Amino acid sequence: MSDLPVEPVEAKSAKTRQMLGMKGASTEAASIWKIRLQLMKPITWIPLMWGVVCGAASSGEYTWSIENVLKAALCMLMSGPLLTGYTQVVNEWYDREIDAVNEPYRPIPSGAISGSQVIVQIFVLLIGGIGVAYILDRAVNHDFPVMTCLAIGGAFVAYIYSAPPLKLKQNGWLGTYALGASYIALPWWAGHALFGTLNWTIVIMTLFYSLAGLGIAIVNDFKSVEGDKQFGLKSLPVMFGIDKAAWICVLMIDIFQAGIGVYLITIHQNLYAAILFLLIIPQITFQDMYFLRNPLENDVKYQASAQPFLVIGMLVAGLAFGRV
């Protein structure tokens, strides 16, 4: 029998959370590269990368080839690790005082990384994201640099979301919607524009879908209620209280996803509409089982169980749009 020490499961889980940028992270010291990765919150990249897939589907022009796979991968790199990473580091920097109250183990309030190192990381990620967008514009011979404009526009929204004097996150509704649109509409537009021609129908429908994304964004505010109150941030849980905000969260997700289903019926995509409605059923079930009963304790469990049905529904909608 081996005498080698075995790391407790709880410690491994805490380290994984630390690397992914999740609540309940380990406070154990890590290398500077692990700290930089933690600042970028890899767990938040996934919805943006998925949004690119939905956009490619909605273009109706994506075909499976090595060239297209590489283009899509580059677009995911731009939307996820680079620009979402940039967004998260900017948010961490401007939230450092709040995090000292809510999550003191975070890299900046804990002193694990210096301010100058954070600023350098912000600029490297920003320049990298815009650079990849420019490469994609050149790769598909865009007459107008739509990918570059989307990257710059998204980076600007991310900055004013976190930074004064605007600091959109101080306004519960506006800030949360800006976050929801950044998670759904922006990467969707990028994926669609990369393989097709972005049009007003897709722009409007994805902005409508982003109201469901607003519900997703609210989930992340529950863990920060005390610090938000102390620093005057009007998140929805602060404005309405925990229970009412939880109901607002789930209703936003379900109602606006169902609204997309109704729209699919009007454009005669009945099969896709039926699939979308069926995906809402388990979503509601997990909302009742976890989130509505205890949003503070069950937020992560709820996201892991219910949100896959939302993101699959996004792809269903994208495929339906691509058939019109």
Average pLDDT per 10 consecutive residues for the chain, totaling 324 residues: 47 53 57 94 92 98 97 98 97 91 88 96 98 98 98 97 91 88 96 97 96 85 80 84 93 96 98 97 95 89 90 97 94
CA distance 230 to 245: 18
The answer to whether 276 and 254 are in contact (CB under 8 A) is no
Single-letter amino acid, residue 274: A
Number of other CB atoms surrounding residue 192 within 10 Å: 30
Using CA atoms, how far apart are residues 244 and 257, in angstroms rounded to an integer?
Answer: 20
- Does residue 53 contact residue 79 with C-beta atoms inside 8 Å? no
How many CA within 13 A on the CB side of residue 304? 6
* pTM metric for this prediction: 0.88
Report domain extents, the chain: 30-198, 199-224+236-324
Q: Given this model, what pLDDT does residue 4 score?
A: 44
pLDDT of 22:
54
Q: What is the pLDDT of residue 275?
A: 98
Say yes or no: domain 30-198 is CATH 3.40.50.10860: no
**Quick one: pLDDT at residue 235?**
84
Q: For residue 220, what pLDDT is reported?
A: 76
Q: Which residues of 75-86 are buried (b: 16+ CB within 10 A; e: fewer)?
A: bbbbbbbbbbbb
